[in-house]
Amino acid sequence: MAGRALILVENLSVPFDRRVWQECTALRDAGWDVSVICPQGTERDTEPYVELDRVKIHRYPLKAATGGPLGYLKEYSSALWRTARLARKAGPVDVVHACNPPDLFFLLAKRFKRRGARFVFDQHDLVPELYLSRFNRGRDFLYRAVCWLERCTYKAADIVIATNESYREAAITRGEKAPADVFVVRSAPKVERFHMVPAEEPLKKGKPYLLCYLGVMGPQDGVDYALRALAKLRDLGRTDWHAAFVGAGDTFDQMKALAVELGLGDSVDFTGRIPDEDLLRYLSTADVCLAPDPMNPLNDVSTMNKIMEYMAMSRPIVSFDLREARVSAGDAALYAPANDEPAFAKLIAALLDSPEDRKRMGDIGRERVAGPLSWERSRLALLAAYEAAMSKGGSAPPRPRAAADIRTPGGTPTTNPGQQAVDGQNGQVAAGVQQADPAAGNQGDQ
């Protein structure tokens, strides 16, 4: 039963947020009337309002956080206020679909629920683990606060969408959600968007091999680990490679400076964010792709988009040995012991020396993304989640209205099936995450 969906996003602009955009188009194709509220981008997605492929997108200006937790408190408070202003203009909706971080949109969702809407919580990150991993402040007052906000969000949600089995387990255990109310919708790339193009030797800067990193560059993303591993690779006598780091983030300038400090200034390029067509050029030329996300409470249980996109392009991967990295990549990656930079460097060297292994691993990855990890499976799970949400009774029926959407800036109205675990390399489903209970003492390994 299709209806009207309002999707709330703070972390990225839409359609730049590929996961959210794929969800929008999947819902649209299923007959839903979809609206999105999200921040404006800096270089793209800059219009305050656009209707793109029949999805209505309303954007607000947002200054990204700087500094520590207080910077994020300011960012999230501003985002919540601006989202509330736009949402206030919305007519009745059937589903309000909130993507975290932050775990604050339940405050807006509760108002919509009083008007008969269902609340779908799309948990992109485990925020308590994110806090521990990013700020290294331990279980202080702010940690306890984010745990409380997560509990409030779980409690308010009719349905929870998790990105993998570890997140699903968190929703069921510490969120106390019924298993039938938690659906796994993986952040799987559409394989048709990722296709090989002719390799471009100039990207290798005269070297035989190209190494490639794709993704965000934040404190928890491990670009510093990758750079130190590349310095150790050089120290092993391997200078037959060039590396491209594609993406941007809070630590972009720091990572460029670190590359120079390590003596890698001539061996590494930092491209910043690039268009999709350029991304395909780099990945088609790459011989080995890097997933240097270090072991921490968040990374161990999170699915990395970079791994999925490397596999979509049939690229072999070197990763640290993280639980969800194994579930995603299986035999498409080699795994160094967690945070072991010398071992990471040696695995890169081993792959450079073995074109047969590179080809075999690339083929395995492509098969995984086209099969058990495919977006088609995620799309079906998304629609099943919405069907389950609509089967739950709202507190009051929405008032009928011809156009139940947000008005444009000018003021004119615009016109549990399928829950399948994915086996890892050893045929094991990712185990549950720990309870993020601020009252708990020392807890088990992630």
Task: Report pLDDT digits (tens) over 192-236.
Answer: 889 999 999 999 999 999 999 999 998 889 999 999 999 999 999
Task: Write down which residue in 370, 401, 434 finishes a domain.
Answer: 370
Q: Report the pLDDT averaged over residues 347-354.
A: 98
Q: Assess if residue 166 is contained within a domain.
A: yes
Q: Is the pLDDT assigned to residue 416 strictly greater than 80?
A: no
Side-chain-side CA neighbours of residue 28 (13 Å) = 16
Do 182 and 285 sit in the same domain of this protein? no
Do 150 and 294 sit in the same domain of this protein? no
Q: Is the pLDDT assigned to residue 72 strictly greater than 80?
A: yes
Q: What is the CATH number of the domain that holds 73?
A: 3.40.50.2000
Do 361 and 255 sit in the same domain of this protein? yes
Domain of residue 228, residue span: 191-370
Q: Find tokens 């249980």 and name the residue.
A: 301
Number of domains in the chain: 2
C-alpha closest to that of 411 among 13, 94, 48, 33: 48
Farthest-apart Cα atoms in the chain, separation:
71
* From 135-144, 151-160, 313-322, 387-396, the region with the lowest mean pLDDT: 387-396
User: Is the CB of residue 240 less than 8 Å from the CB of residue 270?
Assistant: no
Q: Assess if residue 426 is contained within a domain.
A: no
Do 125 and 205 sit in the same domain of this protein? no
pLDDT (tens digit, 9 = 90+) per residue, 105-138? 999 999 999 999 999 999 999 999 999 998 889 9
Do 149 and 244 sit in the same domain of this protein? no
Q: Report the pLDDT averaged over residues 386-392.
A: 96
Do 241 and 258 sit in the same domain of this protein? yes
User: Is the CB of residue 407 less than 8 Å from the CB of residue 413?
Assistant: yes
Pairing of strands 209-214, 49-52: unpaired
Three-state secondary structure call for residue 36:
strand
Task: Write down which residue in 391, 426, 441 finishes a domain.
Answer: 391
Q: Assess if residue 64 is contained within a domain.
A: yes
**Cross-sheet strand order for the sheet of 241-246:** 268-272, 241-246, 209-214, 288-291, 317-320, 333-336
Task: Write down which residue in 302, 336, 370 finishes a domain.
Answer: 370
Instruction: Tell me the pLDDT of the chain averaged across its residues.
Output: 89
User: Is the CB of residue 37 less than 8 Å from the CB of residue 83?
Assistant: yes
Q: Residue 182 corresponds to which tokens in the numbers above?
A: 């938690």
Do 147 and 202 sit in the same domain of this protein? no
Q: Assess if residue 432 is contained within a domain.
A: no
Q: Provide the pLDDT confidence category of residue 1 given band limits of 50, 70 and 90.
A: low
Do 217 and 172 sit in the same domain of this protein? no
pLDDT (tens digit, 9 = 90+) per residue, 280-307? 999 999 999 999 999 999 999 999 999 9
Distance CA 227, CA 234 (A): 11
Do 343 and 384 sit in the same domain of this protein? no
Do 299 and 201 sit in the same domain of this protein? yes
Provide the percentage of residues in the chain whose pLDDT is more than 90: 80
User: Is the CB of residue 65 less than 8 Å from the CB of residue 75?
Assistant: yes
Q: Is the pLDDT assigned to residue 391 strictly greater than 80?
A: yes
More confident residue, 384 or 412: 384
Q: Is the pLDDT assigned to residue 45 strictly greater than 70?
A: yes
Q: Assess if residue 52 is contained within a domain.
A: yes
Q: Is the pLDDT assigned to residue 421 strictly greater than 50?
A: no
Q: Report the pLDDT averaged over residues 406-428.
A: 40
Do 245 and 127 sit in the same domain of this protein? no
pLDDT (tens digit, 9 = 90+) per residue, 149-184? 999 999 999 999 999 999 999 999 999 999 999 999
Please name the amino acid found at residue 337.
Answer: P
Q: Assess if residue 15 is contained within a domain.
A: yes
- pLDDT score at 410: 41
Do 173 and 231 sit in the same domain of this protein? no
Q: Assess if residue 401 is contained within a domain.
A: no
Q: Is the pLDDT assigned to residue 423 strictly greater than 60?
A: no
